[in-house]
Amino acid sequence: MRSRFFLFLLALLFWVVPTTASAQQVGEEASSLRVIVVDESTGMPVSGARVFLLDILRFWATDASGVVTAGDIPPGEHQFEVSGLGFYPQAAVIQLEPGGTVEAAVRLEPRPILLDALDVMAPGRARFSATLAKNGFYERARSGFGLQLDRIAIEEMNPGYTSDLFRRMPGVILDGREMGGYRLLSRRSQGSLGGSGECPLLVFVDGNLFQGELDELQVSWIEGAEVYLGLGSIPPRFQQMTAGNRQADCGVVLFWTA
């Protein structure tokens, strides 16, 4: 089953057709990408599939037609992965030319969904997540440091966008940018980075530094979120990863996806 990742089978799963630069310009030298994702067994479009450029940590979700159109991508070679709930992920390497567009069709193979076991605690509700357990979420929650939100807590907040999780969060400023999008700033450490008075939080997704727009991360993907304000509260693993980065003095936000 996993042999589908071998290159000779990937050639059957992906076709890539470069178009001319005049077809779509996304700023000088920038490239663009259009992907359609379908169910291999039915040929139907897959809505909500995640299209991920691993090397630059940017990702998008397909619309109801199974399509993603993404722009402002640095040209060059990129590690390309597509995944969806109930499907095996597919991966390949794509080449984006400066000022050009690449179109790709991806056929995802269905796979059975194995549900996590439920760990019921009274009073209240809890749902055990293997993803969160593997990444130390529950251990950090028991330590008393930071703020942890599991999937149930997120669902109870009923956010439309990931940024909505932080609109009323103590100690965090949701800062809207003039050009659109949001930054997360710390109230607790505001002004500690000299000069601007702003203290932005570093954001990690699945253990990797995330530099995209906050709302590119869809709420439905998030299994858990953690917020640590101030350098002293950051878990040791992430203190090591942010060593030498003064922005880490403000704190970090960790997202874990299913």
Tokens for 213, please give them: 């727009």
Whether the predicted pLDDT of 100 surpasses 80 = yes
Tokens for 222, please give them: 């998030």
Each residue's pLDDT tens digit, 143-154: 778 889 999 989
| Helices (H), ranges, 69-143 | 130-134, 137-143
The pLDDT of residue 197: 65
Q: C-alpha angle 66/68/74, rounded to 5°? A: 155
The pLDDT of residue 166: 92
Alpha carbon separation from 216 to 103, 138, 182, 249 (Å, rounded) = 20, 26, 11, 25
Q: pLDDT: is 232 or 71 the higher one?
A: 71
Whether the predicted pLDDT of 123 surpasses 90 = no
2-108 maps to which CATH number? 2.60.40.1120
At 133, the pLDDT band (50, 70, 90 cuts) reads: very high
At 32, which helix (H) or strand (E)?
strand 31-39
Domains of the chain: which residue ranges? 2-108, 130-257
Query: How far is residue 232's CA from residue 250's CA, in Å, rounded to a whole number?
Result: 10
Q: pLDDT: is 127 or 46 the higher one?
A: 46
Whether the predicted pLDDT of 161 surpasses 70 = yes
The pLDDT of residue 87: 83
Each residue's pLDDT tens digit, 167-222: 888 888 888 865 567 889 887 644 444 445 678 889 999 999 998 889 889 999 99
Whether the predicted pLDDT of 73 surpasses 80 = yes
The pLDDT of residue 113: 54
- Candidates 2.40.40.20, 3.30.56.10, 3.10.20.30, 2.170.130.10; CATH matching 130-257: 2.170.130.10
At 224, the pLDDT band (50, 70, 90 cuts) reads: very high
Each residue's pLDDT tens digit, 26-71: 345 888 989 999 999 999 998 888 888 877 777 788 888 999 998 8
Which residue, chain included where needed, has tokens 């995802």? Answer: 108
Mean pLDDT of the chain: 78
Each residue's pLDDT tens digit, 5-28: 333 334 434 444 444 333 333 345
- Average pLDDT score over residue span 123-127: 54
Q: pLDDT: is 138 or 126 the higher one?
A: 138
The pLDDT of residue 143: 78
This model's pTM is above 0.75: no
